[in-house]
Amino acid sequence: MANTCYNNIIGLARADCPCIEEAPPTGYNTSTSGLYITDVPPFDALSGYDECGEDSVWDMLSKAREEAISTFVADTNAMLMRTFKSRRERFKGGIGEATGRDTLTTDKTYAGIRIACNPIRGGILKITHIGTLFSGAGTGTLDIEIFNSLNESVWDGTVDIQNGFSLNTLDTAISLPTYIEFDDKHEYYLTYTYNPANKPRLNNINCGCGGFVPWYNTEKPMWVNAHPGSRAWANWVMVGGWAGDTLTDFDQCNSSANTQMNGITLQVELGCDIGQVLCNGSLDYNSDPFALSMAYAIRHKACEILASKLIASTMINRLNMVNRDTLRELKREWNAKYAENAQYIAQEAQLRQNDCLVCRDESGFGVSTILS
């Protein structure tokens, strides 16, 4: 789930872009904060707005904004983790066995798994691989759709299946929040159409080794107890089997389920979305004291990056021919202002609507800038 907070947080230029052969960058003259890169001298003297495409002024402005946002998110995330830590152990690994002797026989139209999430604001379930374990001869594909417990489709895609186990690496990982707004169930359902000619094998969540026997009961969830190491996924989610005749009644499902995964395994990452501390949904420049500071920080970094691009550019224009020494000096100023803003934002940030992080022990940790 992409965070849209920073979309058009700063604009590129207030100028029109009457390009014909190439389209202008998305949101080129839109700024949710009211700040634009080319409002900052000496970029107010830029020209070439009538041309778009690769290596144009618009292209450099767009790339500067994109890189500035990525840098800001990476820097502030790292700085926030000097102040906060996760309440729960992060998990990265597999859920579900890649073997199963028996097959699923059902009169239901659909089958799959259900995932109940510990309703942690700021927690993220990221699915990076989907494994399939089917019994039919030959190879093929399987259409999968994921719903939440509000009966909303949140992802769909196609994976490979064969006689036996097949591990599918997703081109783009599926990111699902562990807290679903306006819902008291906080569940996801990974579904596919059941085919009696190619039955899924009944694989278990795990072998039950070491006395660890998982269960699925939303009235008595697994995360009421702490689970270390390879079992740490149980601090975040429960996983169980599911079968049904409709894809619109997930809100009516019982509180319990078996722990057979109906031919599905998952490779997941479970942890905190650190960025939600600063940006959760959208920025409010009227009531959030950090919102405008974040916009200024991103503009400082965008100006620094744009200056570097102009200095390195072979394009001949008045700005990069005459003001190269000025740009080098301004780069240092913009970087210093960016570092100051970013550190202030990270130091003063409050957890607010976030259950995932907790403050570190102030006696043992301090906040120091990682920026140069």
Pairwise CA distance, residues 181 & 204, whole Å: 30
Give the chain's mean pLDDT: 90
The answer to whether 143 and 269 have CB atoms below 8 angstroms apart is: no
What is the identity of the amino acid at 140?
G
The CATH class that applies to domain 91-276 reads mainly beta
Both tokens of 152, joined, read 């909303």
The model carries a pTM of 0.81
Cis peptide before 24 (omega within 30 of 0): no
The predicted pLDDT at position 316 comes to 55
The predicted pLDDT at position 372 comes to 39
- Per-residue pLDDT tens for 51-96? 888 888 899 999 999 999 999 999 999 999 888 888 888 999 999 9
The answer to whether 320 and 311 have CB atoms below 8 angstroms apart is: yes
The predicted pLDDT at position 133 comes to 98
- Per-residue pLDDT tens for 155-186? 999 999 999 999 999 999 999 999 999 999 99
Cα distances (angstroms) measured from residue 99 to each of 22, 135, 205, 231, 307: 53, 11, 10, 19, 57
Residue segments in the chain with a per-residue pLDDT below the cut of 50? 1-2, 363-372
The answer to whether 102 and 163 have CB atoms below 8 angstroms apart is: no
The predicted pLDDT at position 362 comes to 53
The predicted pLDDT at position 320 comes to 56
The predicted pLDDT at position 367 comes to 43
